[in-house]
Structure 1
Amino acid sequence: MSHRRSALISGAGIAGPALAYWLNEYGWQVTVVEAAPGIRPGGQTVDLRGAGRTVIERMGLMPAARAACVEQKGIAWVDASGRHRSEMPVDAFGGDGIVSEVEILRGDLASLLYSAADDHVEYLFGTRITALDDSGDEVTVTLSDGTVRTVDLVFGADGPHSAVRRSVFGPEEDVVHPVGGYTAWFTAPSTSMDTHGWYEMFQAPGGLVASIRPDTDPTRMKASLAFASEPLMYDRNDIDAQRSLIAERFAGTGWHAPQLAEAARTAEDFYLDALVQVRMDSWTSGRVALVGDAGYCPCPLTGMGTSLALVGAYVLAGELAAADGDHRRAFARYEQVLRPYVEQGQQMPGGGMKMFAPKSAFVIRVGQMLNRAITSRVLQPLARKMFFSHAENIELPDYSTAPEQQMSEQLRSAR
């Protein structure tokens, strides 16, 4: 290499730090910018399943990930009295059901990924990209702190509302597709709410869904309030208005919904967003590429967001190493290797929003019957193949013999 190649990544969630880790492994000089003041703590639980779990293993982080796991017995659909109407234990479907064998708080996973390479990767928190200029030979990036960086490549790992994507690929509405609902996520006190280790979900007619699941702190619960809806006009920066929207939607709803709506009013980590998928014909343009939710958000209902982010970061960095930094060749291979996995990962579960947030009591009962049926010994193998094996459907390439990997190993030996 005539010079040490450089990259700037926007976003320090899951995809960004994972990509930073692998690029650093291949000898790149990496800077990550993140609008938040630090790695965002807490968050809801995310799944480590299939190829995503393999990536974590190849990073050597699986023991730490397992140590940080949230212990859960599985998912249970409950009625207004809290009685379990159907259950899917965590060991169903080989540990890859709706609640997987390895579940970790999003913030804890992000912290693990950050710590894996923080000594060698530059992180600029409280900072975002304000302008990009791709000359064809390099990218000039203006940051919100007023500094200007010139790098070889820029990567957008900044979520479904990606600013990098808007700047380079065009308007959000062209590629972000609502699936028919909204979800508020937040942390609630566990006072008078005990799931006994289960992730409990209550569905009410009218497309309303309330759920709570264990946290690593026994005094707290991870909660969500979701509802089916056509696209709504609301200010994404007006949190108080969003809290009021949730309170109005769930007024008079049974089970723990009133307590959760009240907890949402004061939760510091309250977050409301539409359930969407990001679908694009290409994730690359010139010297800019998208990774994770910025390029191919699958929707939380698929349970595939973390796997796609981890695998996408691994493949993108690996193909750059295999191509000895030739981004044109690497970007083409990134699309070729990853797209079939993304397309399968974006397949919505049976019934989609209609079964997740049913409009009628009849459909709620049908869903509970189906959940009991697919966990039966007879139907589990078929259901696993149809619904719970998407995370495995890629053969991860081995990039350990790539030219840049060899160069990186030589540099480490020289130190």
Structure 2
Amino acid sequence: MRDRTVLISGAGLAGPALAHWLTRHGNHPTVVERAPTLRPGGQAVDFRGAPQLEVLARMGILDAVRRAQTHMGDITIVDERGRRLSRLPSEVFSGEVEILRGTLSRILHDAAPAEYLFDDSVTGLTETGEGVHVTFERAAPRMFDLVVGADGIRSKVHELTFGDTPRQLRHLGMYGATFSVPGVYDLDHQGVMYSAPGRCATLASTGGRTRAALDFAAPPLAYDHRDRNQQQALVEAAFEGLRWEIPRLLGQLRAADDFYFAPAAQIVLPAYSSGRVVLLGDAGYAPGPGGMGTGLALIGAYVLAAELAEADDHATAFSRYESRMRPYVVTCQRQAQGADRYLVPGKKSQIWRRNQVMRLLPYLPGKSLIKRMTERAASAIDLRPYATPVNATLSRPHPHRRTCPDVSGPPSQAAAVSVVG
């Protein structure tokens, strides 16, 4: 199935990756993004296991990702006076290749010669016999053959399309905020982490820009996900009264231009598609922290585009896409469960036990065991080659492409361990 017009909502990571593959298979993607530009900075994301690295290689971006990787070292765990307690080895959290989310977003955007509509969003979806009639906040209404929601856990596409279909947001017991801070805190490709019961603060730098991650345990909270002041107030209240670098970080939080706040959560759906609309990445199956969401999203983009290319109709393609992806999604989501017990233990005794395990880990076979377990989960899908794409290489820009200005910064921006994303 080729020569189709496809609207993709979301220009984060999954959206541009899908646009790349759709173009290579002879289709015509348009990507709409609420933000005025690509989102800069962000936490570090990683790839691990043969399938995740292979999908980067098949896209032709593995070398670019390797050149931009963070080369992040270990994270030192300290007490409130800054004294070293333990160490978290980089092999446990960095995967085989780690890169800043903003840098990866730029690489994917540049690899996807699609039409981009920034500073806009979908307001209505009406399926007809000819396709899907789409209305936007700014752009004129248009008709598309297919629509893909790659717009995160609060997917507008899901809201407009699936109606009352059950959409379980499986809360994982914590929230997290990330933001840039001035200076490097004497860190060079290293990190430092401080924990108090139910709270965890991490600082990390790759030698350029430093990022903070503030994570805290909490039940589901009622707040406006577009109200930054309200979100910042939640973080300030959660960390009020703590020592170490916390007062300084809270003082810098509101000045940061890249503050990001989100729950640690998973999305569980009975179906990934409805009619001519399908969900991709976090919009359909967010795995939560430690669930390899970035690798999962990019593999999902590869499988969805390939199934659309091979099938005679979209219904067959969507069904095959879901049957291929759902077992992998379940495995990745299972991998993420329990992250709160590691990042934000509720008692001092639990923090102490975690620190002791981390202190002994470099000298025990457990480090290799943890790495093997995460790689086994990351590799729980077989990337069959599918049909050869129509466009083996992508060298010409889309005739209607609106290229986003480069605001993502150099590859040396900071990485941070966080539940967000």
The question of a shared fold, defined as TM-score above 0.5 by the shorter chain, is answered with yes
- Any conservation in 1 of the 2:195–2:344 contact (CA below 8 Å)? yes
Cα distance in 2 between the residues matched to 1:350 and 1:368: 20
Cα distance in 2 between the residues matched to 1:350 and 1:4: 41
Q: CA deviation at 1:67?
A: 1.8
Cα distance in 1 between the residues matched to 2:165 and 2:172: 15
Structure 1 residues 383, 271: CA separation in 2 closer, same or farther (over 3 Å shift)? closer
* 2:24 corresponds to: 25
Cα distance in 2 between the residues matched to 1:46 and 1:303: 11
SS in 2 for 1:178: strand
Overall identity of the aligned pairs, in %: 42
Q: CA deviation at 1:411?
A: 12
SS in 2 for 1:242: helix
Greater CA deviation, 354-363 or 45-54?
A: 45-54
Q: CA deviation at 1:372?
A: 3.7
- Any conservation in 2 of the 1:8–1:33 contact (CA below 8 Å)? yes
Structure 1 residues 55, 137: CA separation in 2 closer, same or farther (over 3 Å shift)? same
How many residues are matched? 394
Structure 1 residues 146, 124: CA separation in 2 closer, same or farther (over 3 Å shift)? closer
For structure 2, list consecutive stretches of 5 or more residues without a partner in the other structure. Answer: 396-421
* 2:82 corresponds to: 82
SS in 2 for 1:4: coil
* 1:194 corresponds to: 186
Structure 1 residues 351, 40: CA separation in 2 closer, same or farther (over 3 Å shift)? closer
Q: CA deviation at 1:113?
A: 0.6
Q: CA deviation at 1:189?
A: 1.1
Q: CA deviation at 1:348?
A: 4.2
Residue by residue over 1:91-144, the C-alpha shift from the partner in whole angstroms, topping out at 9 and shown as x without a partner, is x3xxxx2122321111111110110123xx111111111100112541111111
One-letter amino acid of the structure 1 residue matched with residue 192 of structure 2:
E
Cα distance in 1 between the residues matched to 2:136 and 2:217: 38
Cα distance in 1 between the residues matched to 2:32 and 2:68: 26
* 1:134 corresponds to: 127
Cα distance in 2 between the residues matched to 1:113 and 1:106: 10
2:376 to 370, 373, 389: 389
Larger relative contact order, structure 1 or 2 (CA cutoff 8 Å, min sep 6): 2
1:110 to 105, 110, 130: 105
- Any conservation in 2 of the 1:373–1:379 contact (CA below 8 Å)? no
* 2:310 corresponds to: 322
2:201 to 192, 196, 210: 210
- Any conservation in 2 of the 1:87–1:371 contact (CA below 8 Å)? yes
For structure 1, list consecutive stretches of 5 or more residues without a partner in the other structure. Answer: none
Cα distance in 1 between the residues matched to 2:377 and 2:133: 38
Cα distance in 1 between the residues matched to 2:131 and 2:6: 10
Q: CA deviation at 1:269?
A: 0.8
Cα distance in 2 between the residues matched to 1:72 and 1:297: 25
Cα distance in 1 between the residues matched to 2:375 and 2:351: 21
2:212 paired with 1:223:
yes
* 2:53 corresponds to: 53
TM-score normalised over the length of structure 2: 0.88
Matches within 5 A, 1:308-319: 308-319=296-307
Structure 1 residues 349, 335: CA separation in 2 closer, same or farther (over 3 Å shift)? closer
2:231 paired with 1:264:
no
Cα RMSD between the aligned structures?
A: 2.3
Cα distance in 2 between the residues matched to 1:392 and 1:78: 34
TM-score normalised over the length of structure 1: 0.89
- Any conservation in 1 of the 2:190–2:204 contact (CA below 8 Å)? yes
2:5 paired with 1:13:
no
SS in 2 for 1:389: helix
Greater CA deviation, 142-151 or 261-270?
A: 142-151
